[in-house]
């Protein structure tokens, strides 16, 4: 009996016993009565009848037992499938869904192990194997592709010591379809979250434009329109008014830059490089240094969340350049190499000591960029020394295959 076979239930054993013993007992009683009346002429017929009934009963109950095992196996298949689909519908964690699929296959296919590989960049991909501590020593006897919208995004491998049957291969392919469904569902949820974030950013941008930006712009104009004071403290008053006007203008630039940055994150029809080029153009017009975009390579393959974080990192670097670097020119570079895709913001400003900046209040922007880089699995490198400019580089690794 294999690991997946359950013991024969008591009711089936009792039915098997009754289905053979009762007909045999009836035949024996019938022929005994007839022999007592007619003599022993029908003994051979009686024995053959008994043997025939026994053979017939055994055959029928072998078929009945096989049918029961098939139905019981199908019931377990349906129960496992229902549990997986329920987990998908409940939006269970990705690891829980994949673990259910693996356990489902290991049980029903009598497998030593099952491995699910998904290409990185998909919502359910990962890099840590679950359910085993090392790769199985035997070769995979069954493989099924995980296909989403016509593209193969992963595979499922079954490891055991015997070949797969057609029925088992179909079960494996059904499991691959369920993994594909889970990936699609996770993608839909991520898109919904991204849409909600974009809507909120657009709302904040509108509120900033309609309130704070208008107030700061009006206040700056009114301060500049104040006539020159007279009296003993006229020069001091004029200097104070001019200083307040400069502060309002600086705050207005910050708000306008924030609005432009938020708007650039809500235009989903543009590619990342197009959105970055548009933002760089606005950034220069809003008082930043001359900014150019150099693009050499493929368009970065970013999911919505990674695109948002990476764009905010570039915007933070440009804001720091405008406020602190006193730079004349900024270059944004996007290129590929063996290590991954790079997005670099480089200026010709006065530079700074990164260690000192990390300890002081103006290091908050750098800390935020580091936190965002961790969220998207990127590597952030800040290179700067006083008097030599600053180079902020973000490296996104090439896609790899995750194993579950």
Per residue in 140-183, pLDDT (tens digit) is 788 888 888 888 888 888 888 888 888 888 888 888 888 888 88
* Type and span of the H or E element at 116: strand 113-119
Q: pTM (2 decimals)?
A: 0.50
d(CA 210, CA 285): 20
pLDDT score recorded for residue 120: 59
d(CA 340, CA 234): 61
User: 330-352 in b/e burial notation, b at 16+ Cβ within 10 A?
Assistant: bbbbbeeeeeebbbbbbbbbebb
Which two structure tokens, joined as six digits, stand for 388? 């030599």
The fold adopted by the segment(s) 269-399 is Heat Shock Protein 90 (3.30.565)
DSSP H helical ranges for 286-395? 304-320, 354-359, 364-375
Per residue in 364-403, pLDDT (tens digit) is 678 888 888 888 889 999 998 888 899 999 998 875 434 4
Per residue in 308-323, pLDDT (tens digit) is 888 888 988 888 888 8
Domain locations along the chain: 1-90, 269-399
For residue 361, pLDDT beyond 50: no
d(CA 67, CA 402): 40
Decide: 130 and 99 in contact? Cβ < 8 Å. yes
The dihedrals phi and psi of 293, each to the nearest 5 degrees, come to -115, 125
pLDDT score recorded for residue 123: 46
């Amino acid at each position: 009996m294999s690991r997946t076979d359950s013991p024969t239930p008591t009711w089936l054993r009792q039915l098997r016993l009754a289905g053979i013993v009762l007909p045999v007992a009836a035949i024996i009683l019938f022929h005994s009565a007839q022999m007592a009346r007619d003599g022993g002429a029908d003994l051979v017929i009686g024995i053959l009848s008994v043997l025939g009934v026994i053979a017939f009963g055994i055959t029928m109950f072998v078929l009945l037992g096989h049918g029961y095992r098939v139905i019981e196996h199908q019931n377990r298949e349906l129960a496992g499938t229902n549990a997986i689909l329920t987990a998908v519908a409940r939006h269970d964690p990705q690891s829980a869904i994949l673990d259910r699929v693996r356990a489902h296959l290991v049980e029903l296919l009598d497998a030593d192990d099952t491995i699910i590989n998904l290409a990185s960049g998909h919502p359910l991909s990962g890099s840590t194997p679950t359910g085993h501590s090392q790769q199985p020593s035997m070769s995979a006897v069954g493989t099924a592709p995980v296909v989403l919208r016509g593209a193969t995004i992963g595979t499922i491998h079954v490891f055991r010591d015997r070949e797969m049957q057609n029925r088992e291969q179909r079960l494996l392919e059904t499991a691959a379809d369920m993994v594909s469904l889970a990936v699609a569902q996770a993608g839909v949820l991520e898109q919904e979250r991204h849409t909600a974030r974009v809507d909120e950013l657009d709302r904040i941008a509108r509120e900033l434009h309609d309130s704070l930006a208008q107030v700061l712009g009006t206040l700056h104009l009114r301060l500049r329109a104040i006539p020159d004071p007279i009296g003993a403290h006229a020069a001091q008053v004029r200097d104070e008014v001019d200083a307040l006007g400069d502060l309002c203008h600086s705050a207005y630039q910050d708000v306008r830059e924030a609005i432009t940055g938020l708007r650039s994150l809500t235009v989903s029809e543009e590619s990342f490089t197009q959105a970055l080029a548009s933002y760089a153009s606005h950034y220069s017009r809003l008082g930043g240094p001359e900014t150019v975009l150099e693009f050499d390579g493929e368009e970065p393959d970013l999911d919505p969340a990674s695109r948002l974080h990476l764009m905010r990192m570039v915007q933070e670097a440009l804001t720091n350049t405008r406020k602190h670097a006193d730079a004349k020119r900024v270059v944004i570079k996007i290129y590929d190499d063996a290590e991954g895709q790079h997005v670099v913001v480089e200026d010709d400003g006065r530079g700074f000591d990164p260690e000192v900046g990390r300890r002081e209040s103006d290091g908050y922007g750098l800390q935020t960029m580091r936190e965002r880089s961790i969220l998207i699995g990127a590597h952030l490198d800040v290179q700067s020394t006083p008097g030599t400019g600053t180079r902020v580089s973000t490296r996104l690794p090439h896609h790899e295959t995750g194993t579950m």
